[in-house]
Amino acid sequence: MNLRRLALTVVLYCTALGFARAEVSSPKANTDQYDVIMFQKAQQALSKSNFTAARTLLKALIDNHPNSDYVPLAKLSIADSWYSKHAFKQAEAEYRDFVTFFPNRPEVAEAQRRISSIHKGASFRIPAAPQ
């Protein structure tokens, strides 16, 4: 009788562990998919020059999935979207954030070039003072 009770306990314990693992891993798998989907939809919006929708998706990705591998690319895409709209002040702020938060990314050099080009362009846009 004790042997049956022990066997039943072991079976129930193992079954419970199996269900616990299934419950924990399933949401993680689904969560990992959301950041990918959001990034892909944002890229589609950018390709259609729908910058506002793209930025909304990218900001949601950053806010809701801060540990995602897509966060650096999302931040850079936000900066690029502002740059494409010639909103250079916002673009520069986003590029600077990217360089600050992701200094080891290979895209940092391009972000710094964009910041430099914004400053060079700004010098041509400032009207000269009358003499």
> Tokens 């949401």, residue?
27
Instruction: Please report the pLDDT score of residue 32 as a whole number.
Output: 57
Instruction: Please report the pLDDT score of residue 121 as a whole number.
Output: 76
Per residue in 60-94, pLDDT (tens digit) is 999 999 999 999 999 999 999 999 999 999 999 99
**Torsion sign, CA atoms 18, 24, 25, 27:** positive
Per residue in 90-120, pLDDT (tens digit) is 999 999 999 999 999 999 999 999 999 998 8
Torsion from C-alpha of 59, 61, 64, 67, nearest 10 degrees: -120
Walk me through the domains of the chain, giving residue ranges and CATH numbers: 2-124 (1.25.40.10)
Which pTM was predicted?
Answer: 0.69
**66, two tokens:** 């801060």
**Torsion sign, CA atoms 99, 101, 104, 105:** negative
- For the residues 5-15, what does the mean pLDDT come to? 47
**10, two tokens:** 């072991």
